[in-house]
Each structure stands twice: as C-alpha cells, then as structure tokens.
Amino acid sequence: MKKADAVPFVSARGISKSFAGIEVLRDVDLDLAKGEIHALLGENGAGKSTFAKILAGIHLPTRGTLSLDGRTIEVSSPVAAQKLGITLIHQEPISFPDLSVAENLVLGRSEDGWFSRVPWAEMTIEAQRSMDLLGVHIDVARPMRGLSIADQQMVEIARALASDSRLIIMDEPTAPLTPREVETLFGIARRLRDEGRTIVFISHRLEEVRALCDRVTIFRDGDKVATDTIGNLSDVDIIRLMIGRPLKEYIHKHSAEIGEVALEVQGLTLPGVFHDISFSVRRGEIVGLGGLVGAGRTDVARAIFGVVPATGGVVKVDGKAVHIDEPEEAIALGIALVPEDRAAAGIFRTLPVEQNITAAVPDRIAPTGVIRRAIERSLAQDSVAKLRIRLASLNQPIGELSGGNQQKAILARWLLVDPSILILDEPTRGIDIGVKAEFYDMIGELASQGKAILLISSEMPELLALCDRVLVMAEGRLTAEIARSEASQERIMSAAVPRVEAAA
C-alpha cells in the first residue's frame, strides 16, 4: 500500500456536473494513487456514479480538469477512456442480450478493422478462461438473455478485468452478489492492486469497504466531504459524514402477531430449475429465502407470481389452490413481487417517475379509466416523501435518478398496491444505509399489519435481523428451514453450499 506520492496517478480538480441546470457534483478534488483501492461512499444520489462516469468518459464535467500521471487529459468518450486505460463496471450491467456471453465479453475490444475475421474459437476459449478465473460457472456460448443479474454482473466484471486497464472503477459491483462471489472478486481486486493498478470501489456496505479498501472518499449532496485512510474513520464517523446526522435506530425485532397461512406452495417444480419446493408464509410473518446466486430463488418467486409458471405443484392463497399464469392474476389475488432485476423488469426508463410509481395501481389513479392527475400526483408525492426519493421533479424520467433512488421508486410502486402477500427479491440492492434502516422498519410495520412477507436476500445480516424463519435453497432445492432462534450466518451458509455427492 503506497501512500500518494508527489504526483498522484489520477487527479481530479474542481470537477462539477450539472444536468439541466441542476448541479449534482460541486468542485470535487480527488487524488488516486497507483496501487490503491479507493472507496466512494455516500447516500443514494450523492453523486458517486456521476463522478465515476466522468472518469470513464460517459459524462463530460461542466467544469474542472482531470489529469493522469501529471498530464491533463480530456476524457471525451468511453473509447477515449479505454485508450487511456480506464474501465468502468456499470452499476446496471448493460449487455447485448442476444449475443453470447463470450461475445459480450470481448465486445468493443477489437482493435482490428471492420472486415477482419472474428476469431470465434480463440474468443470462446479466452472468455471461458476469464470466467474460470472469477470462479463462475457459466457456459460462455449461451446468450446473455436469461442470465441472473448476478451472473450478468460477473460477466461485466470479467469484461473489465480482461481489458488490462490501469484504472478500474467498480460501481456497486457487489450489490447482486453473495458472500462467496464477493470474496472471489475481492481476491482479484487485491491482486490487481498488487500489480500496481488503481481501483475505485463503490458500495453501500461498510464491512466490504473495510475489508477491501485503503482509503475512502465520502460524498454528500454532490460535495466531497472527506477523504481519509479507512483506519482513521469509525463507522459512526463515516455515517455522520455521509448523511450528516446520526443513523436512525431501528428495531430489528418486530412483534407481529402470526396468523393464518396466507401463502403456501407444495411440491412446486419447474424441471431443470427448481424441484419439489414446499413452504408456507403466515400473516404477519417474514420468511427469508437465502442461498447462493443461481440457487433458483428468483425462479421460485417468478413462478409464484406467474411470470414463468411452475409445471408441477400447487400454490395456495389463503388456503385455496389457485392457478396463476400471469402477474395480473397474482396481483388480483393480493400478491406483489418486487423484482430483482430493476432495469429489465422494474423501471420504465424514459417515463416520468410519477408514472413509474403508479404503474401497478391503475384503478386508484383512474377509477373510471380516465386518469385523475391530482390523485396520481398526491400518491406519487406521498411515496417520494415516505421513501425520501431524491429527484428534481416528479416529471423527470426515472432513468435520470440514481440507482438507489430508482430502486426506491419501484419499492414505492409495490407498496401502493397494498398487497396481502409481498415477495421481495433483493429489495435493498443499492439502497444506502440510512434508508435501509427505515426500509427494515417499514417491512416490520407491514408484517405487523398482517401481511405475509417472503424476503429473498443475499445479505445475511438482513435475513438474520428481519426474518422469523429462514429457508435456504441450493441448486433448485430447499435444503434447510431455520427458525429465528437458531439462525446464524454459518448455518445458512452451510445449507446454501451445494453438497457434492461422493459418487459424482
């Protein structure tokens, strides 16, 4: 770990950025040394991604300069950034769904002319090698479409790592990953650092930042408020710097009355995806669903919600067997699903925030079929206030919000539905610490109102703190059901790791 010497590797001076007259970054000065891992912290919408995108040539700063090795540089486009050896791993993986994983991996790296031959064989071998390096088991010949969000993220990471860059910016790379994959990623990041490369790491998980990073920079409302060595700052310091006030205490243990069984599945099966899944969720109960990425948790949620129905087994709502083939039927039965992949299944990117929030409650905003703007506005307004969504205007396209704020808007959409059964698939992905606490409170509150909640999460502390019971899945099967009193990180992990049969 070298300290920043005379000439820092990258130095940003007075970087400011405005969108349509709204300043979202203000005079940011930041130095990055060679061979350091530097964390960016801050609330949702603080400007972390915007700063990262400026480094990577996606946004042009309104003011300010960047220099590399002491020379002023003009990062005018992502291609220019690539030439300078700067790579960004996006917060939202962007890929070409119809191309294969291998093609996505090498995309945009070709130095050859337009008409040169595409070396498919080498490409595939190289792609497989970089996936193996990450310890991910994905067939690189399959198309991107249908990959879980975590796998998409791993492909995105592999692409950046294969590019041989000197500055790698990772924007919330760990958000969709489980601890094991996070460890692999950290191992690689440390190795890259030791090779003298610089890594910028954005995350909302303090423990990750502590485990990995050398220095941190904290943003608040577009200002850089501090840069320091991680050891010099306590968690309390960091939170105070991030949100400007002490963290709101939250009650982990909710005291909801557990009632009748609201949702029950028996022997749910979708061949090749999940098998013989049986569990039930009672009113007022929060049931966790843990497991590794790819264990089939999201598929079970989708099956219950009617996105990709199961072929075998029974789903019962309030004791009655139901047949759900479409999400609209699930919603009519009082089921809501906050999907994991918000870019693909959640947001309407170019439509106003307001319309995104009210999308699932047409009957409330338009009782007669004609939209009542005043009702719509006030519903959206309440949600924005309740979840503290940071935006410039309710008419702003939701794609312009920061990642965490988009997630809050999607949560808001489903809370408006007022479901009796709420399935949350990684609901806090990308949400900052301050709001997370409030969100946990809110879930507890919903449970005490008698809602049945199924919480799919890769965050152990979340499962442990919130759930009355934790179910664990591995390779498409339920492997454990752990009561709250017995739940621990170790028990969940040991049930989550696939058992390797001795015979196999």
Partner 1 sequence: MSAAETTPQRIAGRGAAPQRSLWHVILVRPETMTLVLLVLAVILASQLSPFFLDISYILRSFTLSAEFAIVALVLTMVIIAGEIDLSPAANMALSTCLFAWAQASGVPMPIAIAIGLVAGLAMGALNAFMVIGLQLPSIIVTIGTLTLYRGLAQIIAGDKSIRMPEWFIGIDKVLVFGVPATVAIFVVVSLVLGLILAGTIFGRQIYQIGTNEVAARYAGIRTRRIKLILFLLMGLAAAIAGMLTASRLGSVRYDLGLGGELQMVLMAMLGGTYIFGGRGTILGTFLAAWLLVVVSTGMTVANLLPAIQLTVLGVLLIVAIIATNLIYSRAQR
Ligand X SMILES: Nc1ncnc2c1ncn2[C@@H]1O[C@H](COP(=O)(O)OP(=O)(O)OP(=O)(O)O)[C@@H](O)[C@H]1O
> Choosing among partner 1, Mg ion, ligand X, none, which partner's interface includes residue 42 (Cβ < 5 to 8 Å by kind)?
ligand X
* Residue closest to 208 by CA, chosen among 223, 226, 232, 189: 189
Q: Does 74 bind partner 1 (CB under 8 A)?
A: no
Minimum gap (Å) between residue 431 Cβ and partner 1: 16
Strand partners, 169: 88, 200
Strand partners, 202: 40, 171
For position 349 contacting partner 1 by CB under 8 A, the verdict is yes
44 binds, among ligand X, partner 1, Mg ion, none (CB under 5 to 8 A by kind): ligand X
344 part of the interface to partner 1, by CB under 8 A: yes
Q: Is 34 in the site for ligand X (CB under 6 A)?
A: no
Query: Rounded distance, CA 336 to CA 328, Å?
Result: 10
- Is there binding between residue 63 and partner 1 (CB under 8 A)? no
Give the one residue of 38, 41, 45, 327 binding ligand X; rule: CB under 6 A: 45
**Secondary structure class of 287 (helix, strand, coil):** strand
Which of helix, strand or coil describes residue 357?
helix
Using rule CB under 8 A, residue 73 touches partner 1: no
Question: How many Cβ atoms from other residues are within 10 Å of residue 481's Cβ?
Answer: 13
How many alpha carbons fall within 13 Å on the CB side of residue 128?
A: 9
Q: How far is the CB of 246 from Mg ion (least distance, A)?
A: 24
Under the criterion CB under 6 A, does residue 47 sit at the interface with ligand X? yes
Which of partner 1, ligand X, Mg ion, none sits in contact with 405, Cβ below 5 to 8 A by type?
ligand X
What is the distance between the alpha carbons of residues 480 and 477, in angstroms, rounded to a whole number? Answer: 9
265 strand-pairing partners: 279, 315
- Given the complex with partner 1, which of 370 and 504 has the nearer CB atom? 370
Determine the residue with CB nearest Mg ion. Answer: 49
What's the DSSP call for residue 231?
A: G
Q: Which does 383 bind (CB under 5 to 8 A by kind): ligand X, Mg ion, partner 1, none?
A: none
Per CB under 5 A, does 403 bind Mg ion?
yes
Contact status: 149 vs partner 1 (CB under 8 A)? no
Q: Tell me how far, at minimum, the Cβ of 438 lies from partner 1, in Å.
A: 15
Contacts of 368 (CB under 8 A, 6+ apart): none
Site string for ligand X, 429-458 (x = CB under 6 A): -x-x--------------------------
419 counts as binding ligand X under rule CB under 6 A: no
Query: Which residue, 4 or 417, is less far from partner 1 as judged by CB?
Result: 417
Residue 217 touches ligand X, criterion: CB under 6 A: no
Site for ligand X in 361-400 (CB under 6 A): 390, 400
The CB-of-231 to partner 1 minimum distance in angstroms stands at 30
Query: Could you identify the residue written with the tokens 């307001």?
Result: 354
User: With binding defined as CB under 8 A, does residue 378 bind partner 1?
Assistant: yes
Nearer to ligand X (CB atom), residue 400 or residue 425: 400
Q: Give me 238's structure tokens.
A: 């960091």
DSSP-assigned letters across all residues of 120-162? HHHHHHHHHHHHHHTT----TTSBSTT--HHHHHHHHHHHHHH
CA dihedral 354, 359, 362, 366 (to 10 degrees): 20
- Residue 308 binds which entry of partner 1, Mg ion, ligand X, none, with Cβ cut-offs from 5 to 8 Å by kind? none
Helix (H) or strand (E) holding 375: helix 373-387
The Cα–Cα gap between 478 and 274 comes to 9
The nearest distance, CB 172 to Mg ion, in angstroms, is 6
Give the nearer residue to partner 1 in terms of CB position, either 173 or 309: 309
Strand-pair category, 452-456 with 286-291: parallel
Q: Work out whether 479 is an interface residue with ligand X (CB under 6 A).
A: no
- Hunting for tokens 């790592």 — which residue is that? 161
| Binding window for partner 1 (CB under 8 A); candidates: 3-11, 54-62, 124-132, 150-158 | 54-62
Task: Calculate the CA 284 to chain-centre distance.
Answer: 27
Residues 164-183 that bind partner 1 (CB under 8 A): none
CA-angle at 114, arms to 110 and 120, nearest 5°: 55
Amino acid at 258: I
User: Are 25 and 51 a contacting pair, CB within 8 Å?
Assistant: yes
For partner 1, the binding residues in 214-233 under the rule CB under 8 A are: 221-222
* CA pair distance 309, 302, nearest whole angstrom: 7
Residue with tokens 């309030």: 318
Q: How far is the CB of 398 from partner 1 (least distance, A)?
A: 10
List residues binding ligand X (CB under 6 A): 19, 24, 42, 44-50, 91, 390, 400-405, 430, 432
List residues binding Mg ion (CB under 5 A): 49, 91, 402-403
List residues binding partner 1 (CB under 8 A): 18-24, 45, 58-60, 221-222, 305, 307, 326-328, 330-332, 337, 339, 344-351, 355, 359-360, 362, 365-366, 369-371, 374, 377-378, 381, 384-385, 388-395, 413
